[in-house]
Structure 1
């Protein structure tokens, strides 16, 4: 039996600017959309590190098909999750 997909919209928050996702993307769950947002933020951070530039993206906010805010993924949290624990 095929799983149902839900369209989520990932809005990027850069400073006070909101970059709206007008097309959205289909995910099987909100957790899958969160994983995609975390990976996007990590990829952006890696790109900024290799270019020695400052990352200004603060978060990705996830909205459902009705326009209702579901959750936010903070850049610092997404990046910290893949670092070793600090002693």
Structure 2
């Protein structure tokens, strides 16, 4: 454990941020998994709505600094390509 007061505070804030980031990442995985399950089922309607939801979640994660904007762009592009090929 750190002896410096500011470092003790930093440890606490880093832990809060880590938990928040894990929550966002978990939501992302769930949203993308919903797109993939709709794709395997062959349901174009469900896949399109899941894609819209996943895109929102990816944009939200970028705005919060959880993932890089290029990472989100690549993921959105990949799932959009899969949905459009359905």
TM-score, shorter chain, exceeding 0.5: no
Higher relative contact order (CA 8 A, sep 6+): 1
**TM norm structure 2:** 0.38
Q: Would you tell me which structure has more helix in proportion to its own residues?
A: 2
TM-score scaled by length of structure 1 = 0.38
- Greater Rg by CA: 2
